[in-house]
Amino acid sequence: MKIALITDQHFGVRNDSLHFHEFFAKFYKEFFFPYLEEQGITTIIELGDIFDRRKYVNFDTLIRCRDYWFDEISRRNLTLHCIVGNHDIYFKNTNRVNAPSLLLQEYPDLHVYDDPTDVNIGGTNFLMMPWINSENYDVCMSAAQQSNSSIMMSHLELAGFEMYRGAVNDHGLSHKEFAKFDYVFSGHFHHKSSKDNVHYLGSPYEMTWSDYNDDRGFHIYDTEKNDLTYVKNPYRMFYKVFYDDTEKTEQEMLDQDFSYIKDTYVKVVVKQKNNPYLFDVFVDKLNLQLPAHLQVVEDNFNLDIEDDSDIIDEAEDTVSIIKKYIGNLNLDNPKPVENLFYELYHDALSVE
């Protein structure tokens, strides 16, 4: 039996952005569900953080994600198993009040796990492990020790894994606590990575500039072959366009096809600009493609830039910039400061 694994969908991300809803809808309706139908897959396991906001769910977000996710699952007669993640819960110290249990009761083939539960799917035993907090820590750790399942589906915060590319988490549980399982599949960190038997599956699509050029997608677990297959998402939300009017002729610059940037976030990185008029025409051409957001990064914002690599660095994502800035402070122990800024940054993404 083949089972689709997906995690950290974060419906309502970026202040319930309509551009992101449309981006998500395109992924699910034009790629995810057709792929499952082609492969004959009828079961999905979601590994936490279905919704983005902990405190409330926007009504418009709810009706939109019902259309491109929950109603599609119901219409296609699929079964969905949902593990409660930290963004799905109202209180940080308990899973008892959670959005999936409260909002999705009308779907008969949806199963929500806010407590550790052993289930059999397709002849294979799985331990469904929700977000571990101060209230359920003892119950969860006991369940992990006593479970006879060979695979754990979870939403864990483990030390030593990358939260985002280049940003390693230094707190949380040790992955060795779960060494008894053949596989531990987890959500929570959006960067796909593996260590020993633990596999962070990563989010299915880009949501911030931290995700730029970092593959996103979902996985298929085959219970008979006992293996995991990665399926890459072909759609992107973030693009960098490099401008250099010394490398190409004016006609070559303007003949480029930028239709792919429609409804996406774009950074125009200026490496060399000797013709201001051509540059203005070039940017106008980009804007005609109707990107969701377009930002120009020019070297004259920083007079101490020495070479093109420094200019390109100015177009890096916020997390990378934070890490570099803190690194330049020469702190004895920069990790706690990095983690604090990462948390503040991601909290800021949800501020109205």
In whole angstroms, give the CA distance from residue 238 to residue 122: 38
3-state secondary structure 156-172: CCECCCEEECCEECCCC
Helix residue ranges, H only, 192-348? 250-254, 276-287, 308-313, 318-327, 335-348
Helix (H) or strand (E) holding 75: helix 71-75
pLDDT score for 337: 81
Q: Which amino acid is at 211?
A: D
In whole angstroms, give the CA distance from residue 158 to residue 150: 19
Cβ atoms of 151 and 185 closer than 8 Å:
yes
- Going by C-alpha positions, the residue among 344, 41, 317, 19 that lies closest to residue 191 is 317
Percent of the chain clearing pLDDT 70 (strictly above): 91
What does the pLDDT look like over 11-55, one tens digit per residue?
999 999 999 999 999 999 999 999 999 999 999 999 999 999 999
- Going by C-alpha positions, the residue among 133, 118, 116, 142 that lies closest to residue 173 is 133
**How many angstroms separate the Cα of 334 from the Cα of each of 107, 168, 282?**
46, 12, 41
Within 13 Å of residue 66, how many CA atoms lie on the same side as its CB? Answer: 13
What does the pLDDT look like over 278-331, one tens digit per residue?
999 999 999 999 999 999 998 544 434 334 444 444 455 667 677 777 877 778
In whole angstroms, give the CA distance from residue 323 to residue 335: 9
Task: Output the pTM of the full model.
Answer: 0.86
Distance spanning both ends of the chain, measured CA to CA: 43
pLDDT score for 323: 73
Helix (H) or strand (E) holding 9: none
Beta bridge partners of 168: 162
Query: Which tokens go with 340?
Result: 């604090």
C-beta atoms surrounding 339 within 10 Å: 16
